[in-house]
Structure formats: structure tokens, C-alpha cells
Amino acid sequence: MNRVQIVTDTSCDLPADLIASHGITVVPLIVRFGEETYLDTELSREEFWRRSEATLPSTSGASLGYFLSAFQKLVKEGHHVLCLTLTSRHSSVYASAWTAAREFGDQVTVCDSQSLSWGLGWQVLAAAEAAAKGLPVDQILEKVADVRSRVRIELVLDTLSFLRRGGRADHFIAALDRAAKALSIKPILTFANGEMRLGALNRTWERGVRRMLAEFVQRAPFEALAVGHTFRRERAEAFADELARETGFPREEIRIFETGSAIASHSGPGLLAALGLVRVAEAV
């Protein structure tokens, strides 16, 4: 009997080695610079930022056709497909995947991760590991839900122009703009129930980073940690050093990554993100 096959999108930020070793199918998101359209995977990080200097990028989720193609291939091979997507609160990716899934009846299941980046990635890995053990879809989804409940994400932005243009923060961007202009603040953003929310406001980027570190120290212990950035590798490495020192988590196990073009299109350069998977309390 063929096992369940996992599909996701490029917003998961999983590295190529993990994708390959777990047999995960990844559908690309779409990035636009004016009238020019690219797949999330087509541009190098350097080319993306070079183009961003002239034209602010925008995104449009993943094409329905890419999901149809991915699902068709796997279903034809006799598999059941479980697709986990970027949060539906800020993207049309889930809607595209769900629409494509309708073409295959009960052979494709689509799940809204209510997260992004490694918050989605950890759910995808949990699903792939459970699928490899031969578990049915309902039991895989239970494991995914457990991981989802333990994901914590906070991020500090260095600029608001990309977030404002992207429209993903319309419910708080006006108030944030006023505060930013008056105080030159740097916001901390969090995720809850799949939605980006405004957290603390900080007078400087450094204060924002210290506050984000303190929040994660309070939430320890962690099963997994990751530090994301956009065009600021040294900042991410330094923050990971502090995170390991303050939480006792092994430094060599903290994932350092630069997020993909689709997410970077809404954060701009200078993003620093802390992502954690809280460890389940052991029974006494």
C-alpha cells in the first residue's frame, strides 16, 4: 500500500536536504516586480535584493496550476496526498491548494498550517515522519495539530515600507505608521491563530531584539529553535549565540536561515525572527 505523500509550499523555508530526505513535494510561490513575475525559487537572494532596490516586490501566493500538477503526479502514482500550506489569514495559497484538491475527491487533503516559515516547516516534517511510519491521514493530522499548538514566532522589523505595501498588516499598519514617524520605533510582530499581530513597540532595533530574546527565554525549554533573517546573516548568528546561551539549547542545533523571496517581499531587509517549538512537559 502506498503511503501518504506530503506537499507544501516554499514559504516553509525548509532546506533542500530535508526536503529531499523526507520526499516532500514543494510548490513555489510567486514574486512580482512590477510587470515581471518570478517563481520564489528562481531568484538568488542577491538578485532579489538588487531588484528590490528599484521596485518593491509583491506576491500572489501559488498558482493553482502548480498544485494541480503536483497532486496529479502523486495521485496517479497511487498515493494519498496531504498538503500543508502557509497560513490562510495572510495568503491565498490555502485557497489555491483547496481548489486544486477538489479535482481529486478524497485522494487529497489540504491543511491550513496557520503559520509560516519554520512554523509551517516543523508541521511538514512531523507529517512526513508520521507518513513514513505508515500512519493514516487522520493520525498524521493529529501529530501536525500538536506541533502547531507548540509553535512560537516573533520577529523584529527594521523597515515598514515592505509590510505597508504588501497589505498583510492593514488592521494595524495605520497606528504603527503614526508611532513609527513620531518615535522611530521598531515593532515586534507575533503570530496567533495564524494571524500576524502587533506586539511590543521599541525605540530601537536593539531593544526589540533584547525583548524578543527575553520572551523566548521565558518560554524555554524548546524541542527545536530557528533564527531567520533577511539579508542580515551576522545579526542572526549573534542572536542565535545569545539564544543558546540564555536558554541552554545546543547552539549547533539552532537553524539559521534567510527566508525566501515570498516572505522577504513583506518584511524587507533587516528582519530578525525567532521561531521555537516548545517542548512537551514530561509526565512526573
Whether the model clears a pTM of 0.95, i.e. scores above it, the answer is no
Q: Please give the helix or strand (H or E) that residue 26 lies within, else none.
A: strand 25-27
List, for residues 91-130, the tens digit of each pLDDT value. 899 999 999 999 999 999 999 999 999 999 999 999 999 9
Q: Using N-to-C axis directions, what is the helix angle for 93-101 and 64-76, rounded to 10°?
A: 40
Domains and CATH numbers, the chain: 5-147 (3.40.50.10170), 151-278 (3.30.1180.10)
C-alpha cell at 64: 493553482
Tell me what the mean pLDDT of segment 229-239 comes to: 93
Q: What percent of the chain has pLDDT over 70?
A: 87
pLDDT at 147 (0 to 100): 98
What span, in angstroms and rounded, lies between the C-alpha atoms of 213 and 79? 43
C-alpha cell at 77: 502514482
Q: Is 210 exposed, middle or buried (0-12, 13-18, 19+ CB in 10 A)?
A: middle
Question: Does residue 267 have a pLDDT over 90?
Answer: no
pLDDT top residue among 136 and 182: 136
Question: Does residue 26 have a pLDDT over 90?
Answer: yes
List, for residues 195-225, the tens digit of each pLDDT value. 777 776 766 778 889 999 999 999 999 999 9
List, for residues 54-83, the tens digit of each pLDDT value. 888 888 777 899 999 999 999 999 999 999
What span, in angstroms and rounded, lies between the C-alpha atoms of 202 and 188? 8
List, for residues 152-185, the tens digit of each pLDDT value. 999 888 765 545 554 444 444 455 555 555 455 6
Which amino acid is located at 14 in the chain? L
pLDDT at 185 (0 to 100): 66
What span, in angstroms and rounded, lies between the C-alpha atoms of 217 and 247? 6
pLDDT at 149 (0 to 100): 96
Among 1-5, 88-92, 142-146, the range with the most confident prediction by mean pLDDT is 142-146
What span, in angstroms and rounded, lies between the C-alpha atoms of 97 and 120? 15
Tell me what the mean pLDDT of segment 234-254 comes to: 97
Tell me what the mean pLDDT of segment 254-274 comes to: 88
Torsion of CA 251, 246, 204, 260, to 10 degrees: 30
Q: Strand 222-229 relative to strand 272-278: parallel, antiparallel, unpaired?
A: antiparallel
Tell me what the mean pLDDT of segment 130-138 comes to: 97
Query: What radius of gyration, in Å, describes the C-alpha atoms of the chain?
Result: 19
pLDDT at 233 (0 to 100): 93
In 94-219, DSSP assigns E strands to 108-112, 151-156, 186-192, 195-202
C-alpha cell at 150: 507548540
